[in-house]
Chain A
Amino acid sequence: QWYQRRVRSSGINAEYGEFQTFQHYFKRINLSMVMDVQAQFREMQEEAFYSMEGLSRLNPEKLDFYIEYLTFQVEHGFYDADANLNILKLYQFTPDLYTRSCIGNVHMVLVKALMQLPESDYVLCRAQLSQEMIDDPLTKKIDEVARLLETCQFPEFWSVIQEEKIFTETVGFVEAVRNFVCFVLKLTYKNVETEFLLQMLGPMETRLEDLALANGWVLKGDTVFVGDKEEMVEQKEIVEKMPIDVVSPILAIR
């Protein structure tokens, strides 16, 4: 429908089968659709920012906008922590707004927050939920996934998320978690076995070589060199320092 508008406004009559021009315009439309999404996000971001100034963030009439904004984030892979947390806050302050169907929004907020690991966004969201929201089975599932991620049990994680649509349908979720896995691996390992590494990274579409290049790793056959860690484990000894003003009272004693 959007594309039809564009064609009409550019004055080209596609019905007459001018195939090449049509292809050319289709390419142009694709590009502007992508750019449009960025611009759209920026617009919504600004609107959200201004409507959350001071006390107006508690205005329940804006809730529909925030939910629209959230759906946009889920579909196109953007993120705005403040606005999403505000949805939960509105549910907390005006429980009348919260109906059965709203649990879907809550789940979307939680999954988007999980993508921010290792940041603590998920904990912030979790602290704002009501008991009713917590008791929902999908919330419990998301909680379980969060626990798996926080305790770094990645092989189990990859199998569990296949059970629920929400994880595979949220744009960018899998990539975000993979980034987190790489981050933790970088913290822990100097050399890691390739087999183990692949287990941790789950079923990937990109090749391991590309990922290694992006992260600055070196593939060495059956191990991957992640980074030098020697300086981390030098024996540290905390020696006491005595500043002069602490010692001077003694020096003054005859």
Chain B
Amino acid sequence: MVWSTENNSTMYYQGAKSTNSSTEVAEPVANFLKWFYHFIEKNEIYHVETMYEDGFYKISEFYYKDKPWPSPEEVQAIVEERDSGSIFMILYRELYYRHIYAKLKPNLNHRFESFTNYCELFSYLLGSDEPVQIELPNKWLWDIIDEFVYQFQSFQQFRSKGTKMTEEEKGMLQDEENAWKVTAVLNILMQLTEKSNINEQLKALEAGQPITEEVAGEFGIKPVYAMTGFFSLVGLLRLYCLLGDYHMALACIRHVQFKDKDMMALVPACQITANYYAGFAFFMIRKYANTIQLYQHILGYMQRTKQFFQNRSFQAEDINKKNDQMLALLAIANTFCPLRLDESVNIQIKEKQGEKVARLQHGDMTVYDDLFFSGCPKFLSPVVSDNPTPFGTSGPRGLQLQVFKAEVEQQRLIPTLRSFLKLYTSIPISKLAKFLDMSENEVRCCLMAFKHKKEIARGDTVDQTTLDIDFYVDKDMIHISDTKIARHYGDYYVQQVLKLKDSNKLIMGSALSRPGPQQSA
């Protein structure tokens, strides 16, 4: 039995004329499900991957744009599966609920059932004595973890609606106390990382040693466990950032190297999420150079691979949103710690945040709030009180904003100082004090603060292509240096030469095929 891509497309669109009743499952869908079941049972990972990435999305778009997929009971009958707890049913239910969350509004029952399903799925992976035999595509594993954290986030946001919930919903929440408890979510993610010994594996990779069964353990040597463990690390990173615990967040990714050829690069969505949250954690503890390094790298990557994301449903808009968020945070970070940015990133910032950046340079304080709000993730509180105010000053977002505002306040005088110092190679403190309208002592304190902030912002980065000025004080004289950047026209030159070559080729080609008036090169 060969499953070819031509078969794919014809099968989906065949039954278009006969879907009148909403309870009947269309034939192509039933076929799809049967094949899906077959491949999962037979562990043919390549086909599973194609069906998951392409097939599921196409059918959703075509048949189930605004209604849920067939219920698990119906599907069980279609594929003739006797055991409702089999791995195929668990996986199908995962997709079913994910579709509901994405396209429709989940009600409280859905949330509870989805949580139970996740518990079943993870106990299937964690509970067995021997490693399970099933193999799943990496993308699916990442989507499972990502969706798991996302549904937890959604649940906390739902609970913080407070008085807007109906009495019935409140009653249900009280009955099902254990659903989506933060400790349960953390526990599952931590166990997944421990089972696969992922930290040991990453340490070995760092040291350049091969991964043997000794390092990874019986479970960790299987890709299903290793990759799930790795994705759980990123899931933990995300969850800790949402709870405001940057210490634990950065502890999680202590051994992860953010390079192109890493485990992360296997799933682009994972790479983007990990870079975003890691950069955000560094941003909140004021190590701006780290943030800038990470964001630059990932924004460049996203630019280059943009076309691959256009047709993927679950991710396309999410990725664009992350792009914008990173640009906002990058704009702030660059004001606090001017480093040289790549041209492409610079252009993006100018496009999307141009006027805001101009206002930042002029010391406009309100812009910081706007940019922070647009760039920050949706913070959560681990416990939801009875009268929550999610967007008020004491809600989770408000608390983190207060921390950020403290930093903004501390940096208030620095841009002005910087702009004055840029104009000189040496200037006595008394003169600078007159310009700034401050006392000499205040100026000295300000200079020290500038140095202190600069040192913190440098963080752990080694690369020193900084655009910032540097100075030292000799008694009452300030000596300043500046970095001049020679005009970089090399890249542009090469690009234009290649463009010219291409257009030449085009013209010559068309000249040969269609004799006629020629355009000048």
Interface residues of A (CB under 8 A from B): 54-55, 58, 81-82, 85, 89, 92-95, 118, 120, 123-124, 126-131, 134, 143, 146-147, 150-155, 184-185, 187-193, 196, 199, 223, 229, 232-240, 242, 246-247, 249-250, 253
Contacts and interface: CB of A to CB of B under 8 A. Distances in A.
Given A95-B383, A131-B394, A134-B399, 6 more contacts: A54-B190, A150-B452, A151-B449, A155-B441, A233-B481, A237-B484
Contact of B486 (A126, A128, A190, A239): A239
Contacts of B260: none
B470 A193 contact: no
B421 to A, nearest CB: 11
Given A127-B245, A184-B451, A238-B465, A190 B406 contact: no
A189 B481 contact: no
A188 B445 CA distance: 10
B304 interface: no
A131 B474 CA distance: 44
Interface string B471-493: 11111100111111111111100
B481 A232 contact: yes
Contacts of A235: 481-482, 484
B448 interface: yes
B385 interface: yes
Given A188-B473, A233-B470, A247 B483 contact: no
A173 to B, nearest CB: 19
Contacts of B482: 235-236
A128 B245 contact: yes
A83 B7 CA distance: 59
A231 B45 CA distance: 59
Closest 4 CB pairs of A and B: A131-B394, A229-B472, A233-B481, A152-B448
B153 interface: no
A152 to B, nearest CB: 4
B284 A123 contact: yes
Nearest to B489: A240
Contacts of B259: none
A216 to B, nearest CB: 16
B447 A188 contact: yes
10 contacts: A55-B190, A82-B247, A118-B455, A123-B286, A128-B245, A155-B441, A187-B452, A237-B483, A238-B483, A246-B491
A124 to B, nearest CB: 5
| Chain B interface bracket (under 10, 10 to 19, 20 to 34, 35 or more) | 35 or more
Interface string B370-407: 00000000000111010000000110001110110011
B410 interface: yes
A249 B407 CA distance: 47
Contacts of B403: 123, 126-127
Interface in B393-435: 393-394, 398-400, 402-403, 406-407, 409-410, 413
B187 interface: yes
Contacts of A242: 490, 494
B456 interface: yes
A240 B490 contact: yes
A246 B455 CA distance: 34
B448 A188 contact: yes
Contacts of A236: 481-484
A143 B405 CA distance: 12
B521 interface: no
Nearest to B247: A124
Contacts of B183: 55, 58, 93
Given A124-B285, A131-B394, A147-B406, A152 B445 contact: yes
A110 to B, nearest CB: 13
B267 interface: no
Contacts of A250: 494, 497-498
A55 to B, nearest CB: 5
B81 to A, nearest CB: 34
B472 A233 contact: yes
Contacts of B472: 188-190, 229, 232-233
A54 B194 contact: yes
Nearest to B476: A193
Contacts of B481: 232-236
B379 to A, nearest CB: 10
Contacts of B453: 150
Contacts of A54: 190-191, 194
Contact of A131 (B393, B445, B448, B473): B393
A193 B473 CA distance: 11
A193 B475 contact: yes
Contacts of B444: 196
B452 A118 contact: yes
Given A233-B481, A235-B482, A143 B406 contact: yes
Interface in B21-65: none
Contacts of A94: 383
A249 B502 CA distance: 12
Contacts of A184: 448, 451-452
B79 interface: no
A239 B475 CA distance: 33
Contact of A95 (B286, B385, B486): B385
A181 to B, nearest CB: 9
A94 to B, nearest CB: 7
A150 B449 contact: yes
B471 A192 contact: no
Given A85-B247, A118-B455, A240-B486, A151 B410 contact: yes
Contact of A192 (B243, B475, B486): B475
Contacts of A118: 452, 455-456
B170 interface: no
B256 to A, nearest CB: 18
Nearest to B490: A242
A253 B501 CA distance: 8
B287 interface: yes
